[in-house]
Structures are given as structure tokens and as C-alpha cells.
Amino acid sequence: MKVLGIETSCDETGLAVYDTERGLLSHMLYSQAKIHAEYGGVVPEIASRDHVRKWVNLTEKCVAEAGISLDELDAVAYTAGPGLAGALFTGAVAGRVLAWTLGIKALGVHHMEGHLLAPMLETPAPAFPFVCLLVSGGHTQLVKVDGVGRYTLLGDTLDDAVGEAFDKTAKMLGLGYPGGPALAKAATRGSDAAFAFPRPMVRSDDLNFSFSGLKTAAITAFEKVNRDPASIDDIAASFELAAVDILAIKCQKALQQENMNSLVVAGGVAANLKLRALLDQKMNAIGGDLFFPRLEFCTDNGAMIAHAGALRLVAGEYAGDEVVVQPRWSLSAMTPPI
């Protein structure tokens, strides 16, 4: 089954063709980051308009690169949530109209399920069950994954998501948008031992997270040195170390609690090299298995949507006539494919 995947939940227009027999045939991404950088964050209306502007051209290119024609597609999968309502609608409507015209099925995909299953696009792919650390701009969750749609939430953030904390701290340090990659870059030039930032909740009995205290500590440190530009790289490095430390400690606790040794990390923050290195070291030490998507499939992309959609479409699941998007949509609400 050949599935066209469409991702438009935020500020990237992602397209891909995934074949359940041959794997990923093509993928394409257009990032609107430069447009939003001027405003210091994503402007929803601009995001929606730009998805509409880019979609036809990207789809044509992506299908051509897959070496097929449009009428060889068997189904269309589009991100139906969570995300920005207007942006989601652009991809949902485009995908549904295309499917309708081609006389094929369509399915709305849960964006976080897309992220969570993205490491399965790699070789070796993780096998169920595993513990997944889902870290993005809006989510910081530990999830026990027993199969597609079989998710048990083990831990969640009580305030900011870790990606959000990276973004807000970067903005405060004047590093611009998108903040996570900018902060990580500054961190490579600084000393991670320069500031001793807190690691909130690492000693709590549960698997929940809190990042707003760490963000505030970084802001306070910057104010204390009178916003001295020479301190930026050190604050960035110390913040990054504290953030990835917290994530690694909670991952280890989750594996212990569930008596498992397979860890999957996905979502935009999984692209953080310090996090990848630290988890690699920790998993090596305990003889566990660690899986990440390749860097470009950590952040938003069409491949993860085509892939997650295909796993459900091939099982016979598809959407009804009404085009529905769910800007808020909990991963716990997901069920196995029908």
C-alpha cells in the first residue's frame, strides 16, 4: 500500500510517500522558520497561508521523486492533531480532497503517534514493547508502548514542555527562533559547569517533569550578570546539561519501574546531540537498547505521518466523510488500529 503523508500541524510543510512493502519512497520538507523568525515565534495565520501556498508544488515533487504517479497512491494520511487548528485544516482538507478525487481512502493521524513510531523508519527498528520518551515543543512524556495504539502514559510535564523551555530560554537570551537548535548551538561554545542550575523533580517518586523552574533559574542567572552577552554561551550550556540530565534520569527510572531495557526517544528535542550522547552512554552502561529517528525525522516531517498512517490504513482504518481536526488530542485517547 502506497500512502501519501501530509504534515501541516505547525510551521513545517512535510510530504512523504511510504510503501508498506518497500518502505519510505520519498520525503520532502519546507520549513517556514525564516518567515516566523521575524516575529519571534509561530504566527498561526501566516503558517496556514504558507502551507496552502506550498502544498501543491511539494506534493507534485514528492510523488515524482517516489517514482510513481498520483493515481498509483492507495491512500492519504494527514496530521489531524494536535496542533494549530488552521494549519491542521489546510493539510486535512488538501489530503481529503485529493483522496476524494482519486477515489482512495484517507486517514487523520495523531501527530505524536507519528513522532512516537518514527524510530521504526530506521534500521534496526525498535520492537514492541518499549518505553518512549516523547519530547517536543508541546510534549514531555514517558510512554509505555505495547503496540500501535497501545500507549500507557507513565509521566508528563506539570508545566512547560522541555522544547518550550528551550525555546523560551533561547528567546530570553536573545538567541532568536527557533530556540532549541539556537540554544544548542550556543551551548557548544560555552561551559556546562559555569552555572549549577536545578534539576526539578529528579528525586520525586513519580515519572513527571517540571521545567519552568529551570527556565526561571536561567533567566535569573542572566539578570544577575546584567545580561552580559559574554555569559550567554555558558548559560546555554549549563541549561542544556540540566535539561538533558533530567530527561535521562527519568528515562532510567521509567525503564526500572517497567522492568524494560528498550528506550525509544522521539520528537524535536530528540535531535539534541547532548541528549543523544548522554542517553547513549547511560544505555550502554546498563546494556539496554536505544533508538532514535535520524535527525531530520526527530523534528516535524511528512515521513512519520505517512508511516503511522500506513500502519493503520493497511489494517483497514480510515476516516469518514466529515473532515475533522483535533487541535487538542491526548495520546492516551488512541486505540489500536481497527
Interacting residue ranges for ligand KG4, rule: CB under 6 A:
10, 115, 136-138, 163-164, 166-167, 178-181, 184, 267-269, 271-272, 299-300
- For residue 7, CA distances in Å to 127, 181, 250, 282 come to 25, 21, 30, 33
**Burial grade of 149 (CB within 10 A; 0-12, 13-18, 19 or more):** buried
Cβ proximity to ligand KG4: between 149 and 268 the closer is 268
Cβ proximity to ligand KG4: between 151 and 318 the closer is 151
CA dihedral 273, 40, 171, 304 (to 10 degrees): -20
Shortest approach of ligand KG4 to residue 249 CB, angstroms? 17
Shortest approach of ligand KG4 to residue 225 CB, angstroms? 23
Residue 184, contacted partner among ligand KG4, Zn ion, none, CB below 5-8 A by kind = ligand KG4
Shortest approach of ligand KG4 to residue 166 CB, angstroms? 4
Shortest approach of ligand KG4 to residue 269 CB, angstroms? 4
Place of cell 527557533: 178
Shortest approach of ligand KG4 to residue 295 CB, angstroms? 8
Residue 81, contacted partner among Zn ion, ligand KG4, none, CB below 5-8 A by kind = none
How far apart are alpha carbons 32 and 10 in whole angstroms?
Answer: 9
Residues interacting with Zn ion, by CB under 5 A? Answer: 136, 300
How far apart are alpha carbons 327 and 338 in whole angstroms?
Answer: 23
The residue with its CB nearest to Zn ion is 300
Shortest approach of ligand KG4 to residue 167 CB, angstroms? 5
Shortest approach of Zn ion to residue 214 CB, angstroms? 21
Cβ proximity to Zn ion: between 43 and 68 the closer is 43
The three three-digit cell numbers of residue 231, written as one number? 555569559
Question: What is the Cα 325 distance to its own chain's centre?
Answer: 18
Cβ proximity to ligand KG4: between 126 and 267 the closer is 267
Residue 272, contacted partner among ligand KG4, Zn ion, none, CB below 5-8 A by kind = ligand KG4
How far apart are alpha carbons 290 and 137 in whole angstroms?
Answer: 22
Cβ proximity to ligand KG4: between 178 and 200 the closer is 178
Residue 309, contacted partner among Zn ion, ligand KG4, none, CB below 5-8 A by kind = none
Cβ proximity to ligand KG4: between 2 and 141 the closer is 141
Question: What is the Cα 287 distance to its own chain's centre?
Answer: 26
Residue 167, contacted partner among ligand KG4, Zn ion, none, CB below 5-8 A by kind = ligand KG4
How far apart are alpha carbons 294 and 303 in whole angstroms?
Answer: 11
Alpha helix locations (H) across the chain? 33-37, 44-65, 85-102, 111-117, 162-172, 179-187, 212-224, 232-258, 273-286, 302-313
Q: Bin 226: left if φ > 0, else alpha if -120 < ψ < 50, else beta.
A: left
Cβ proximity to Zn ion: between 8 and 262 the closer is 8
How far apart are alpha carbons 137 and 168 in whole angstroms?
Answer: 10
How far apart are alpha carbons 186 and 27 in whole angstroms?
Answer: 30
